[in-house]
Amino acid sequence: MTNQLDIVFGALADPTRRAVVEQLTLGPAAVSALHDGHDMALPTFLKHLKVLEESGLVSSTKKGRVRTVHIEAAPLRVMDDWLKRQKDMWEGRLDRLARLAEALNEEDST
Amino acid sequence: MTNQLDIVFGALADPTRRAVVEQLTLGPAAVSALHDGHDMALPTFLKHLKVLEESGLVSSTKKGRVRTVHIEAAPLRVMDDWLKRQKDMWEGRLDRLARLAEALNEEDST
């Protein structure tokens, strides 16, 4: 039953991983530079990067000894689409309720 | 370090819980009606509802023996705001890169 949304929502349910995504929206960054901003051991930080990479939210390329991490927009878009569908359904329902209330009001006033 | 986004993203990293949210966008529903759509034991399903309720994504009211579950829009909005910020940053960066590429092109052609 595990699907992409499970993995992407799960990947973002952590402040370190969200901070990495936030930082990468500004541009690609080397692993060492990303790690600098976080007060944790490198192996722990690398585990977070691995979760992000497995979720598809980031990808990385290695040149010499430097691994550079990039954000990938597609999983954010999948999540955004899901949220938008919920919002549309929810707002559609509120619109229907408003019309119903209006109709009842008109009925009352006749 | 656990904050609302951790909890809300975590709550939605599960297909059963997302399905409940999807169903509730159509309107409030009794726990028994919500459970009907899911092929799992009631205690397991109630655990999922508890996670959703603790995240603030749903609330419930009890009248007699019937507990009715409602969606709460605020946590979805918090998540939507976070995603929108990332998208704005990301698209702002792409715009800057496009302008840079244009400037370099113009420089080349002079």
Question: Does A1 score more than 80 pLDDT?
Answer: no
Q: What is the pLDDT of residue B1?
A: 45
Identify the residue among A1, A3, A8, A12 best suited for mutation to test binding to B, counting B beta carbons within 10 A and taking the highest.
Answer: A12
Are residues A5 and B15, on separate chains, in Cβ contact within 8 Å? Answer: yes
| Residues B64-86, mean pLDDT to the nearest whole number | 92
CA B14/CA B52 separation, integer angstroms: 10
Interface residue A79 vs chain B (CB under 8 A): yes
**Closest chain A residue to the Cα of B55, Cα to Cα:** A13
Residues in contact with A26: Cβ distance below 8 Å, sequence separation at least 6, in sequence order:
B89, B93
Q: Is B43 on the interface with A (CB under 8 A)?
A: no
Closest alpha carbon within chain B to A79: B83
- DSSP secondary structure of B17-73: HHHHHHHHTT--EEHHHHHHTS-S-HHHHHHHHHHHHHHTSEEEEEETTEEEEEE-H
Name beta bridge partners: A59: A70
Query: How confident is the model at residue A23, as a pLDDT?
Result: 94
**Do A13 and B15 lie within an 8 Å CB cutoff?**
no
pLDDT band at B110 (very low <50, low <70, confident <90, very high): low
Residue scoring higher pLDDT (B99 or B52): B52
Structure letter (DSSP) for residue A26? T
Token pair of A108 as six digits = 């009352």
Cα atoms in the 13 Å half-sphere on the side-chain side of B12: 27
DSSP tag of A12: T
B19 has pLDDT over 80: yes
Global pTM reads 0.85
Please give the helix or strand (H or E) that residue A29 lies within, else none: strand A29-30
pLDDT tens-digit readout, A47-75: 999 999 999 999 999 999 999 999 998 99
Cβ neighbour number for residue B70 with a 10 Å cutoff: 12
Picking from B84, B48, B55, B3, the residue whose alpha carbon sits closest to that of residue A79 is: B84
pLDDT band at residue B2, thresholds of 50, 70 and 90? low
Split at pLDDT 50, 70, 90, the class of A2 is low
d(CA A55, CA B76) in angstroms, rounded, equals 21
Which member of B2, B13, B83 has the closest CB to residue A83?
B83
Inter-chain touch A10–B9, beta carbons under 8 Å: yes
Q: Please check whether residue A4 touches B, CB under 8 A.
A: no
Q: Which pair of structure tokens corresponds to residue A8?
A: 């992407």
pLDDT tens digits along A24-42: 999 999 999 999 989 999 9
